[in-house]
Structure 1
């Protein structure tokens, strides 16, 4: 073999040297990457993620690490650790040192803190997913990431202003998802997006965008998904949108869009899901008839007119149709729902006529039949008697006639059957006993007849029975006591006879009983006085006889009506109060020692009132002795000194005026004696609170409020206002207290009396031994409350506010709803308290608002900042904050929420994922009940909506809370709760 020449040998040596050097450099680079990954592991690893990082150790090939993919040269190309519960801050200085990295997927974890500007060094990235985390601060500059094809920052907690200009260089971007982030400042629709012509997915929901959708959106002809919901968009839907022929999902709900659907909209024949609900769209639905691929059509709460196209009945994929609260006319397509696995229909609150299409449950999948508030006629088709999947049937406020198909009464999954205000007739059949899920049976104002079946008592989940204004006859079933969950029993305006069954006392949850306008006989069962939750009792216009049971006086009744019966004897002293002055009319044989409108009790009734007279004389004698004693001690009181000098200066028996709102067993002197520093138990925004223990052991709470501007009362630092009345305002004070004194509700603290002097007011309330909800959640008296207790507190407090807003002659706005104003009795039942800021609504036009400064930081509704006005919806907002406290265990304002952020921002920033909401639930709540807590948290989010009109009423809140325990909240709320409202707001509006 010939020897190589010198030149050839030199060249060969150089080549070998370069090859060795190259191998050495590659090896060093690979070793560096291994060390980088191990450092990354040390930063992100937690005990819960040990399994994920189990393979990340020295000795293993880094390309075999879990979540790591290498390119053909052995360099790290992808990091995919999504959905692994990873916690911590992200070290992008380490991550972006991986020079060949093209993909980062760290979505759906628990990363927090700021995302550093080091991210801009990942210049090779094509795929970046940081969605569904808990970052804070601004989105860093992304302008150097020009190779990006996929960018997902959805629901990541970012704030500030999104750097839209960063998108200008991302000409290859196909997937862009930035929604559900609390960006601080609204911006016009970003034109940078319009230039991204390769986009096929654009998700900008809840992204702080305002103004019109530009016509240029039609240039994004590759779009398959376009979601712009929950923003502040206005104007018309641009007509060039019809150029998006690949579009299968279009979401525009909860904006302020106007005008008609663009001419040619029907060309979007690939559309499967279309939702433009909660806007101001007008015009008709004629373009919809061409969208034959539709599976879900949601256009509720708009101003649409005309008829529902008959072609919808031929749509073979249609499963969801929601068009409620529009101005639609005509009939429903007769073949509607007959092809697909139709799930629900809601066309309520329109002017539709005609009959119910018979085949919407043809495939047995339908859950909701919601046609209320229309002009529909005909009978209920028999086909629905076999629709076992039905959960809600609401046909109320139409003109349906005929009998209800027997099987409907006993559908196994049916929760609500509302047929109110129709012309239906016939019987409630015994099939109702099979309705084990039925919670609300609402049949009022129809032509039903016959006897109430005993089997009704086998529907053990019943919460509300409302059968008023029908033709039912016979007796109330004696087995009604089996309904342990029953809250409302309304049988008013029928032809029922016989006596009231004593078993009614076993309905331990009863709050409302209305048996008026029937032909009931016999005596009022004394045991009704044992129904501690009873709030309203109406037995008027019957043939009841005998005496009024004295035990009724043990109840906190906001309404008592026993008028127009045949009752005899004395009215019990405990019921002889001004609040019930009309409750006994039309009973000629009743008498009273206190009520002037009734005849006085005379000798004929002396035997039955002997004990009462003796007691009355006894207490009168005691009162005289106390007055004499008070006069004797007058000088001593003047000399007495303590920390309340201003009060002591007025401790003269003749300087105080007591107004009684209940039957009392104490005098004003007994109360005044206890207004001492050692008895102080609290300071509120409107005064100090003292504990009084009477000689008989009864405990009371007394609030001391100064009437003059010179008083010493001070507001709590967090309170924006207190009740401060000058002497000239005493008449207003008396008027408001007199109105508040008429409140008798189990969930509103009882006011016994007021004691006033020239410059002081004392309000005497029942004492709540378990303190306030704030104390039990946040302060030294904090204790671990299970979800069952928290839920009952939430529901009880909601019922108290509902009564204030809807149950009084004039609505009362509390104006300072907060956890410290929700008191807990010895059985943990809540009472709404502290009405120092309460405002009674006037009947005058425009009287819905009050302009006084009111509220406590963290609970104040946002509209106060720009309107200086509050109304009932302001109370709803504050109550939503209380619900968030109950679910999360957090205070309304905490430093970790961020500067100028509160619990509402914190919760709503995590609201787009069920998993993230679960993470917000207080760790003291059992894991098995956290799903139930999330249901209530979603209701809280609705209550704290920025726009007051979007918030539910307290009546709706109570019904949602009740349904949250009865069924899955998916039957109440839209799956996407990020600003989207109730699928069936009318379902809970009554």
Structure 2
């Protein structure tokens, strides 16, 4: 071969080799291709999430797909590089779960709990055949769980807790041979527990609590002998009692069957559960005695049998529960003495036996173990003395012994119990002095010693301060001496009740240092001084009672500076001179009593003085009603009915008839102008429809133009502080309610992304007792909320209208339960938690079946954020529903919602509006109900709605009891909405309560 030919051959060979090498260097390996495919699947899944909620997934980026195994929440198999674990729990992500997730075929662990996912899960989830761990808890998934479980052969854990799943419990899970944890609690499953659930022999954890299940508990569950934890209660309403077969669950450590309607006796077979750590059977209708066999549960730490109908004595066999830390037996019908062995339980921390019929003395060694933290033996018939060992271990935080027959002095050691937070010892026969230091404990927030026979002085130490003390009640004792000037050191006091004692001397000026006090009662004592002007420094006062003392001099004009004062009583004193006219300008003052003093001159005829009762001035011989009555008029010699208080109204000028006509014509002209402006504005809104942005929270069959068509005056179905509500019918026949928000100006916080994010939160909420937000429609000037339509309107409209008579007792009880469940969800289970801020009967809407739905939740907060004044009713609540603490904190919280709900309960019981139905200015339904019933549950018959018939008295009494708990003046005394729901569940249970 010629040299040139050889060279050519080498050159071609070189080109071929180079080309092959270059080609291979740019090819994609199968492993890289697989990683890229998985990355693409994950990015597609991410795209189905709400873009505003995925900052935690920033590492999920197409630019680094090769490192997909290091992305947040991702784990891969070391050999195959397949994604085997997807854990994005508790990242606050919202949106839906796209079916593309089914392409991650190698998944073994899928955990998406603690987020805000909604909608339905992909029905073909069985394609993830390798799954062994599936956690869906704490989201808002709905639909049923009728999956092909038999194909998920490797599944060991299924956690679907706290979603919106409904329908019957899934039967397919019984085919999962490896399943050891099944949590279906906190959903809306209905029907019965299938007996076949008793065949899942590998189960160690089973929960179906918090659903709508019924029927009888299947005895077959007793076959699950590997179970460690079993949860069956809360919201479920079973028939019958506890199956004795549950005694075969010998490995059980935690058994919770609270609040689920169980009846009958507690089976003695439960005593076989020797490994049981916790037994919760509270809030049922169990009867009979406590089985002695429960004493065999040698591992038991927590025993709660409260709120049932148990009778008999506490069995001596319970002395074998040496590990017991918590014992709750309150609200039963137990009797006999509190056994001495209880004081000898070495680990007991919490003992609650209140509202039973226990007699005899409190065990003298109680607390000697040094571990007691909470003790409540109130509302029994206990006698004897308070043991001196209760705070032996310096851990006691709660001491409640009120409403018993205890006598003798209080143990001096209580003055050194620095851990005490709440003390309630009222309604006993205690005597002797208040222990040294008892009122100055550093953690103390509540001290009640009222209605005893305590003697001695105020017992306050100037050198020590109780900075957290919010309520001090020493009323109706025999305390004497003067009030120390150091009383001003109680800077945190909100309620100070000293009435009905023998205090003497002057009211110290230092009382003005109580900047947070809103209720002050020092009536029925022997104070001899002038009213200190410094009392006006208590700017948060709403209630001031100085009556029945020996106070002299004038009423300080500075009192008029207490702008929140609602009740003012200075009767039966020696006060003199004229009544300050400035008090008439106190618009908040609705009740005042100046009777039986030595006031002189004329009663001012301005402001609030015109509205005070005539009896407020009797017993002042030199006090004149008007300038037309001589000043020697003696009101003490006249009855209140002949008191000429109406004379002051006779001098009002008469309005000329011509002026009335002009005024009426002016009103008509203004109305026409407003109507024209409204029409022009509505047309302008429709012309600008292209600028509207529509955010849907479910699949819609209509658009923004259809929503705007609803904004017609003849479609208005409601008005309120939050906005105007229109009714509309969409092209697909769906009826909706459209709320146009008012009081929203350009530049307000409603126009930023924060408001949109809040609305997104409301749109994701799904609960059967909450009105569903369907869509949000907005432009730069107007914001519209589209809700599901409720044909029967609001509870307030029905109850206080012509149809109120059709709301029978059972319907009212059902509405109360459903509304309570809706609020309970907002307070406890929603994410984020929501305080309603404007709970009232007009914000509880009724569907065609009169099922209650809570409306306008969360709106009050959003309206408050704008700072607008037009919506004050939504910000602060509505008149008649506002909790007392709003007056001195100007804030509302979940306990303010509870107060408002208590008012709604009173509306349901009485059929009366919150205000205006009681014949006296300033009296609301809460005050009226307390006075009318004398705080007695038995007095409920005096306030029942006359339109009701055949009302079960036990139910009415218990509903009244719940209402009274909700409207307690002190917010800490009110129950949570979760507790309210539990108590309403028990409304059919004939248990005797006393409102305290």
Q: Say yes or no: TM over 0.5.
A: yes
Shift of 1:206: 2.6
Aligned counterpart for 2:397 among listed residues 364, 367, 385: 367
| Residues 1:867 and 2:810 aligned together | yes
Q: Structure 1's 499 and 619: CA in aligned 2 closer, same or farther, altered over 3 A?
A: closer
Does the alignment pair 1:393 with 2:355?
no
Q: Which residue of 2 aligns with 1:725?
A: none
Among 788, 799, 802, the residue aligned to 1:854: 799
The alpha-carbon distance between structure 1 residues 396 and 65, as it changes in their structure 2 partners (threshold 3 A), is same
In the other structure, the counterpart of 2:542 is 511
**In 1, Cα distance between equivalents of 2:582 and 2:182:** 68
Other-structure match for 1:40 = 45
* Distance in 2 of aligned mates of 1:943 and 1:116: 44
Aligned with 2:97 (options 90, 93, 98): 90
Asked if 2 retains the 8 angstrom alpha-carbon contact of 1:904 and 1:944, the reply is no
Q: Which residue of 2 aligns with 1:688?
A: none
1:473 is aligned to 504
**Cα distance in 1 for residues equivalent to 2:980 and 2:32:** 50
Shift of the alpha carbon at 1:956?
4.5
- Partner residue in 2 for 1:206: 234
Which whole-Å CA distance do the structure 2 matches of 1:931 and 1:107 have between them?
33
Q: Residues 819 and 844 of structure 2 are in contact (CA less than 8 Å); yes or no, is this contact kept in structure 1?
A: no
Matches within 5 A, 1:934-953: 936=896, 949=958
Alignment of 1:159-178 (within 5 A): 160-170=166-176, 172-178=178-184
Distance 2:118 2:856 in 1: 13
Give the whole-Å Cα distance in 1 for the aligned partners of 2:260 and 2:634. Answer: 74
Q: Is the 8 A contact 1:876 1:951 kept in 2?
A: no
Residue matched to 2:489: 458
Of 157, 163, 168, the match for 2:164: 157
Q: Which residue of the other structure, out of 588, 596, 601, is the alignment partner of 2:621?
A: 588
Between the aligned partners of 2:314 and 2:175, the Cα distance in structure 1 is 40
Give per-residue Cα distances to partners, 1:861-904, cap 9 Å, x unaligned: 99947636699989997997999899358998899x99998764
Is the Cα contact below 8 Å between 1:206 and 1:978 reproduced in 2?
no
Indicate whether 1:447 and 2:478 are aligned. yes
Alpha carbons of 1:312 and 1:434: their partners in 2 closer, same or farther (altered >3 Å)?
same
Q: 1:573 aligns with which of 583, 594, 605?
A: 605
CA contact 1:434–1:458 (8 Å) conserved in 2: yes
Q: 1:319 Cα deviation (Å)?
A: 1.6
Partner in structure 2 of residue 561 of structure 1 = 593
Cα separation, 2, equivalents of 1:109 and 1:324: 40
Gaps of 5+ in 2: 1-28, 191-211, 636-645, 676-712, 726-738, 751-794, 828-832, 867-888, 909-954, 985-990
* Distance in 1 (alpha carbons) for counterparts of 2:649 and 2:983: 58
Q: Which residue of 1 aligns with 2:743?
A: 781
Please say if residues 133 and 156 of structure 2, whose CA atoms lie closer than 8 Å, have aligned partners that are also in contact. Answer: yes
SS at the partner of 1:330?
A: strand
CA contact (8 A) 1:863 1:869 kept: no
Give the Cα separation in 1 of the matches to 2:672 and 2:425: 56
- CA, structure 1 residues 260+52, in 2 after alignment: closer, same or farther (shift >3 Å)? farther
Q: Are 2:138 and 1:132 equivalent residues in the alignment?
A: yes
Structure 1 match to 2:214: 187
Q: CA deviation at 1:936?
A: 4.7
Secondary structure of the corresponding residue to residue 393 of structure 1: strand
Cα distance in structure 2, aligned partners of 1:103 and 1:577: 74
2:275 aligns to what SS in structure 1?
coil
8 Å Cα contact 1:150-1:173 kept in structure 2? yes
Q: 2:283, 2:306 within 8 Å by CA — same for their partners in 1?
A: yes
Query: What are the residue-to-residue correspondences of 1:18-97 with 2, within 5 Å?
Result: 35-44=40-49, 46=51, 48-52=53-57, 54=59, 58-60=64-66, 63-70=69-76, 74=80, 75-91=82-98, 93-97=99-103
Please tell me whether the aligned partners of residues 393 and 417 of structure 1 are also in contact (alpha carbons under 8 angstroms): yes
Q: What's the CA shift string for 1:176-211, capped at 9, x where partnerless?
A: 333332446542245375554432222234353422
For residues 143-189 of structure 1, what are the alpha-carbon distances to aligned partners after superposition, in whole Å with 9 as ceiling and x for unaligned? 4356544332222233x334253443345544333333244654224
Kindly indicate whether the alpha-carbon contact (under 8 Å) linking 2:271 and 2:297 is maintained by their aligned counterparts in 1: yes
Deviation by residue 1:97-124 (Cα, 9 ceiling, x = unmatched): 4445443222212211123322344444
Give deviations 1:595-653, integer Å, cap 9, x for gaps. 9xxx7447999xxxxxxxxxx999978725x4xx42x679xx5xx9xxxxxxxxxxxxx
Aligned-residue offset at 1:462: 1.3
Contact 2:547 2:570 in 1 (8 A): yes
Q: Which residue of 1 aligns with 2:513?
A: 482
Q: 1:143 to 1:40 in 2, by over 3 A?
A: same
2:383 to 316, 340, 353: 353
Q: What displacement does 1:453 show?
A: 0.9
How many equivalent pairs are there? 747
Query: Structure 1 673/562 Cα, relative in aligned 2: closer, same or farther at 3 Å?
Result: farther
Matching of residues 762-773 of structure 1 within 5 Å: 772=721
What displacement does 1:328 show? 2.1
In structure 1, the residue corresponding to 2:312 is in which secondary structure? coil
1:909-962 residue CA offsets vs partner (Å, 9 max, x unmatched)? xxxxxxxx9x99759769xx99984565677788889998468766644546x5
Query: What is the CA distance between 1:539 and its match in structure 2?
Result: 1.5
Length-normalised TM-score, structure 2? 0.65
Identify unmatched segments of 5+ residues in structure 1.
Answer: 1-23, 606-615, 641-669, 684-712, 720-770, 787-849, 908-916, 965-970
The answer as to whether partners of 1:893 and 1:901 remain within 8 angstroms in 2 is no
- Residue aligned with 1:176, SS: strand
What residue is the counterpart of 2:24 in the other structure?
none
Distance 1:234 1:920, change over 3 A: farther
**CA distance in 1: counterparts of 2:187 and 2:597, whole angstroms:** 63
Question: For the structure 1 residues 558 and 472, does the alpha-carbon distance in structure 2 shift closer, same or farther, using more than 3 Å as the test?
Answer: same
Q: Answer yes or no: is 1:310 the counterpart of 2:310.
A: no
Normalised by the length of structure 1, the TM-score is 0.65
Distance 1:406 1:549, change over 3 A: same
In 2 relative to 1, CA 263–938 (structure 1 residues): closer, same or farther, beyond 3 Å?
same
- Pairwise CA distance, 1:497: 0.5
